[in-house]
Structure 1
Amino acid sequence: MVRVFRTGQTVVRRDVLRSGRVWSEHAMRVVGDTSEALVTACPPGAATRWPALYLKARVDGVHALRTDAFDAMACGRWELSAAVWEETELLLWKPPTAWFSVNAFYTAGGLRNWYVNFERPIVRTRDGFDTFDLAVDLVVDAGLTTWQWKDEDEYAHARRLGIITDTEHQAVDVARDRALAMLEERSGPFADTASWSAWRWDPAWPIPSLPHTPRRPVRRSHRQTADR
């Protein structure tokens, strides 16, 4: 039986390698859970945990460190550090078997942009759901008029390291076509852009936290430009 999450429930989105080791954790609130998609959200301040090197790459904005983080992933040499989501409100739409999620980022001015994150289908857990980010992304403007691929270099590097298998590569290729078709057809979240554009995090909602509070000091992270 498929585990169904309650609206308002706090869940944890985790990136988990094939080995079963956790690469990241992100606390989110359930907005809706239907047969079409699991929809979750978070505001700035939501608790996260990331490998220290990957976190440093985000905080410092040094792209080369992101490559080093993939090398550490391939070698299995990392420790998670506590951090928080920053700057944007996030609304995430994830169909049950899809190899991608559609993310909408919001600032004080409203919907800033859409972001299609290619990732493994979710596996539901007691605390939330597991997936794994497959590096490449599609960035779409708020009005759905322009788009561009992002992090193709990291995707190629992760493939060379064996982090992304040939089978996963084939699944991503199919998912790319599906995501572009959704944009062209205005289906999925793109079918009701007015409602998505009007959505905002309710300040009365508590900020999501992780089930187990990390002991290390919390660092600021996730400076949102066009990426997660």
Structure 2
Amino acid sequence: MGSPLFDAQEVIVRREILDGREWMVYPVRVVEDTGDLLAVHLVQGTPLTFGPGPFRWGPHPWTAFEPYWQSEGVLQLRRPGDGYSVWARHSGGEFTGWYVNFQEPMRRTERGFDTLDQELDLLLLPADGSPYRWKDEDHFAERHRSGGFTDEEAAAVRAAAASVVELVERGAGWWEEWRGWRAPEGWQVPEAVPLGA
């Protein structure tokens, strides 16, 4: 595995790496780390730090907003080797569904993990009446067309997406056991993470 497991409640660093440099960095709190699963929590109000560029994809799209996580807290679940993570979404404290974020498989570091969002997302919304709904398909396709993804990278994203759809259609989502999880009272917003830290 290369890096030791993280302790529950430890604050670690999630970095998006583009062009070999930090594109976006933010702290998350460990919920559980078994080696086969890393569950972390992103607290509302968490500061986001963006790399100055230039990047081949331009500045991170979230730089257009205030530099902190504005939505309610999110549980993020990821497994080694998977080209995606699964986020539990809430509104008013109530579970509203799962958000599957396709991204590079996580690479553990001494302080957390690195990845890169790959545009495509899948919404699993129980109130929606359908098993799933795609998000940002056009952004993903355009990124591929413009050379932002190689053919191999785009194929890997599509393969990850197909594997998740297959799990959903079989009713075999491994993430479902986390549906009732809520962040404990008193978990505070972590301090901002400086670039290169």
The two structures have a TM-score, normalised by structure 2, of 0.84
Please list the CA deviations of residues 8-32 of structure 1 after superposition, one character each: whole Å capped at 9, or x if unmatched.
1111111111x21111112110101
How far apart, in 1, do the equivalents of 2:138 and 2:102 lie? 14
The answer to whether 1:94 aligns with 2:78 is yes
How far apart, in 2, do the equivalents of 1:77 and 1:32 lie? 32
SS in 1 for 2:193: coil
Identity of aligned residues (%): 31
How far apart, in 2, do the equivalents of 1:124 and 1:43 lie? 21
**Pairing 1:75-224 to 2, within 5 Å after superposition:** 83-142=67-126, 145-185=130-170, 186-190=172-176, 192=177, 196-212=178-194
Deviation at 1:177, TM superposition (A): 1.4
SS in 2 for 1:16: strand
Which AA in structure 1 matches 2:179? S
Is the Cα–Cα contact under 8 Å of residues 42 and 89 in structure 1 kept in the other structure?
Answer: yes
Please list the CA deviations of residues 77-129 of structure 1 after superposition, one character each: whole Å capped at 9, or x if unmatched.
67x96711113110011111000111111122411221111100111112211
Is the Cα–Cα contact under 8 Å of residues 119 and 132 in structure 1 kept in the other structure?
Answer: yes
Which AA in structure 2 matches 1:165? T
Deviation at 1:206, TM superposition (A): 2.1
Runs of 4+ more than 6 Å apart: none
How far apart, in 2, do the equivalents of 1:139 and 1:176 lie? 12
Cross-structure match for 1:13:
14
- After superposition, the CA RMSD in angstroms is 2.6
List alignment gaps of at least 5 residues for structure 1.
53-71, 214-228
How far apart, in 1, do the equivalents of 2:56 and 2:163 lie? 29
Q: How many residues are paired up?
A: 189
Is the Cα–Cα contact under 8 Å of residues 42 and 208 in structure 1 kept in the other structure?
Answer: no
List alignment gaps of at least 5 residues for structure 2.
none
| Structure number having the greater helix percentage | 1
